[in-house]
């Protein structure tokens, strides 16, 4: 029996953890299970999606392996327990990058499919599963290979369904060709939210990647001030002739390590406000064509192993919302609520989403997404989060289940209107109802 938690703030959940080496082992575990089974990758979802109290957690890390990369198509077949870090360390020197990268490389391919993760390029390239050609899914009724055109309901039912349709054991991904391991990046300081959203609405199309870091503690005329960074992969002509493709730094273990859990109260309104201020002032007002490494642009947090310990013993709540593009009112009201609530919040991340994919429970919807990081502690925090939920639901939006640990289940059907389709699919693939998680139980999925 092992105790597992999410990356942010979740209660420990005691379960039996098993590490299958292949599909047959997974079939066997599912056939014998009676009390609930869920897959787990690298545990980077912030909440309780990859834990199941009293049941069996399938540690997917044994399902590894990286096949050859097809030089013509960029297709590669990998075990679902392969981390994006391991894949990139092989693919980048050969001139291939992952088509969609979340903010950390320390996630598995299985976890990326289960959350249908998005990156800084959703406005251009969509979510992770739009670049999956096929996957192997093991369910309590058997194993199957599915793809966007081969059993599409099972494929799109699995994309974003947080492991609730089965265990992904293998996937064939389409990679993105790159000429160098650098990006050409533009940085702009935006004085307030209007300036930021206008810049993103007009200029994002010229950049494959776009992300804004918003100071959610600034108020008044500075509300929503932000630093916007946008980039494209650098071509050989952008670099000097000697530049080589290399594995992106940092290495798997990160370069710095937080050695202890920070004392309670280290992160408070004063310290976080000071950090946000210093960070905003340090950023250049306008900088063009800076060459930045893949690691620094996509995965800056990976440079610091165990950075979440900085939040102290009570941990962090991540809250990520997506709302349709109806003028940005909800984003403004969410930032206003936070800025005036007394809840300290680190730099928030604002991105634009392009059209949704057909994933039944996939998170992105066309419009805006805002991700907030808040240390657990302030008495107002639960009320602020409930108020955020109400704003999001009223605007036809949703919260990201990969980051959730506390959503009121009454909001779920409005946020995810295709729950019934998922329920029918699960009844077909898993008639005994073996697959479940603490998240599914909490939200009544
Ligand atoms: C620093 C940081 C930055 C992040 N940035 C982003 C971002 O930019 N965009 C984004 O979309 N997400 C982001 N995330 C969230 C993260 O990408 C997702 O939570 C992802 O699912 C984590 O993958 P994992 O391998 O750690 O899976 P886990 O956290 O272990 O599990 C997540 C879900 O995947 C399921 N799962 C895992 N393996 C399998 C499998 N083999 N078969 C079926 N289901 C499986 C689990 O059951 C669970 O429901 C970030 C997380 C962190 C910590």
- Counting from 1 in the atom list of ligand 1, the atom nearest the Cα of 44 is 26
Q: Is 210 helix (H, G, I), strand (E, B) or coil?
A: strand
Percent of the chain with pLDDT over 70: 92
* CA 284 – CA 187 distance, rounded (Å): 7
* Residue 305 neighbours by CB under 8 Å, 6+ apart: 253, 254, 256, 257, 258
Per-position DSSP letters for 104-141, written without gaps between them:
-S-SBHHHHHHTT---TTHHHH--GGGGEEEEEEEETT
pLDDT (tens digit per residue) in 311-360: 777 778 899 999 999 877 999 999 999 998 888 887 899 999 999 999 99
CA distances from 239 to 290, 291, 384, 437 (A): 11, 8, 47, 48
Gyration radius of the chain's alpha carbons: 21
Pocket test for ligand 1, best of 6, 370, 402 (most atoms within 8 A of CB): 402
Tell me if 344 CB under 6 Å of ligand 1.
no
pLDDT at residue 128 is higher than 80: yes
pLDDT at residue 182 is higher than 60: yes
Tell me if 117 CB under 6 Å of ligand 1.
yes
Phi/psi at 66 (5° precision)? -125, 120
User: What is the overall mean pLDDT for the chain?
Assistant: 91
State the distance from the centre of ligand 1 to the C-alpha of 113, rounded, in angstroms: 8
State the distance from the centre of ligand 1 to the C-alpha of 12, rounded, in angstroms: 18
Would you say 212 and 137 are in contact if contact means Cβ atoms under 8 Å apart?
Answer: no
* CA 168 – CA 1 distance, rounded (Å): 23
Strand partners, 399: 321
Would you say 163 and 39 are in contact if contact means Cβ atoms under 8 Å apart?
Answer: yes
For residue 7, the model assigns a pLDDT of 74
Q: Is 384 helix (H, G, I), strand (E, B) or coil?
A: helix
Q: CATH: 1.10.490, 3.40.91, 2.40.40, 3.40.462. Which one for 182-409?
A: 3.40.462
For residue 65, the model assigns a pLDDT of 96
Percent of the chain with pLDDT over 90: 76
Tell me if 224 CB under 6 Å of ligand 1.
no
Tell me if 40 CB under 6 Å of ligand 1.
yes
Burial, 149: exposed, middle or buried (Cβ in 10 Å; 0-12, 13-18, 19+)? exposed
Tell me if 401 CB under 6 Å of ligand 1.
no
Would you say 28 and 142 are in contact if contact means Cβ atoms under 8 Å apart?
Answer: no
Number of H helices, E strands in the chain: 13, 20
- Counting from 1 in the atom list of ligand 1, the atom nearest the Cα of 80 is 41
pLDDT at residue 254 is higher than 60: no
For residue 153, the model assigns a pLDDT of 98
Which is more confident, 341 or 398?
A: 398
Per-position DSSP letters for 32-67, written without gaps between them:
H--S-EEEESS--SSSSTT--TTSEEEEGGGS--B-
- Counting from 1 in the atom list of ligand 1, the atom nearest the Cα of 116 is 11
Lowest-confidence range among 205-214, 265-274, 280-289? Answer: 265-274
For residue 27, the model assigns a pLDDT of 97
pLDDT at residue 250 is higher than 60: no
Nearest to 158 by CA among 430, 441, 442: 430
Tell me if 137 CB under 6 Å of ligand 1.
no
pLDDT at residue 120 is higher than 70: yes
Tell me if 163 CB under 6 Å of ligand 1.
yes
Nearest to 249 by CA among 94, 41, 93, 69: 93
State the distance from the centre of ligand 1 to the C-alpha of 368, rounded, in angstroms: 21
- Closest Cα to atom 15 of ligand 1: 45
For residue 1, the model assigns a pLDDT of 79
pLDDT (tens digit per residue) in 291-302: 999 999 999 878
Tell me if 159 CB under 6 Å of ligand 1.
no
Dihedral of the alpha carbons of 76, 49, 305, 85, in degrees to the nearest 10: 0
- Closest Cα to atom 37 of ligand 1: 111
Tell me if 76 CB under 6 Å of ligand 1.
no
The helix (H) or strand (E) run that includes residue 295 is helix 294-298
């Amino acid at each position: 029996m092992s105790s597992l938690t999410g990356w942010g703030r979740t209660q420990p959940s005691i379960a039996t953890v098993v590490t299958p080496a292949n599909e047959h082992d997974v079939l066997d575990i599912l056939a014998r299970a009676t009390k609930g089974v869920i897959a787990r990758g690298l545990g980077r979802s912030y909440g309780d999606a990859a834990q199941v109290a009293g049941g069996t957690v399938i540690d997917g890390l044994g399902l590894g392996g990286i096949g050859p990369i097809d030089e013509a198509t960029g297709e590669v077949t990998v075990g679902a327990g392969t981390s994006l870090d391991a894949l990139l360390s092989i693919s980048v020197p050969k001139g291939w990058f992952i088509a969609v990268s979340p903010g950390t490389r320390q996630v598995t391919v299985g976890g990326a499919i289960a959350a249908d993760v998005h990156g800084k390029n959703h406005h251009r390239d969509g979510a992770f599963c739009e670049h999956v050609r096929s996957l192997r899914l093991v369910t309590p009724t058997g194993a199957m290979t599915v793809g966007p055109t081969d059993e599409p309901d099972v494929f799109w039912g699995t994309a974003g369904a947080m492991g609730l349709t089965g265990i992904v054991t293998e996937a064939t991904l389409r990679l993105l060709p790159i000429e160098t391991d650098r990006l050409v990046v533009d940085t702009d300081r935006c004085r307030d939210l209007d300036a930021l959203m206008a810049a993103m609405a007009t200029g994002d199309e010229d950049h494959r990647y776009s992300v804004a870091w918003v100071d959610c503690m600034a108020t008044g005329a500075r509300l929503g001030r932000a630093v916007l960074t946008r980039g494209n992969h650098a071509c050989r002509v952008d670099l000097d002739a000697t530049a080589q493709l290399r594995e992106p730094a940092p290495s798997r273990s990160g370069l710095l390590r937080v050695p202890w859990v920070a004392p309670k109260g280290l992160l408070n309104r004063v310290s976080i406000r000071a950090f946000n201020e210093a960070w905003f002032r340090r950023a250049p007002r306008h900088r063009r064509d800076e060459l930045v490494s893949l690691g620094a642009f996509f995965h800056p947090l990976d440079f610091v192993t165990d950075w979440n310990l900085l939040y102290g013993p009570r941990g962090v709540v991540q809250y990520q919302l997506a709302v349709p593009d109806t003028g940005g009112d909800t984003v403004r009201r969410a930032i206003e609520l936070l800025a005036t609530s007394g809840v300290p919040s680190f730099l928030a991340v604002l991105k634009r989403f392009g059209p949704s994919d057909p994933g039944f429970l996939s998170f992105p919807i066309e419009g805006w997404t805002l991700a907030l990081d808040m240390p657990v502690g302030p008495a107002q925090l639960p009320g602020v989060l409930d108020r955020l939920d109400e704003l999001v639901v009223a605007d036809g939006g949703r919260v990201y289940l990969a980051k959730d640990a506390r959503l009121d289940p009454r909001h779920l059907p409005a946020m995810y209107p295709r729950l019934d389709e998922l329920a029918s699919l699960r009844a077909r693939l898993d008639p005994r109802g073996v697959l479940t998680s603490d998240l599914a139980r909490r939200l009544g999925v």
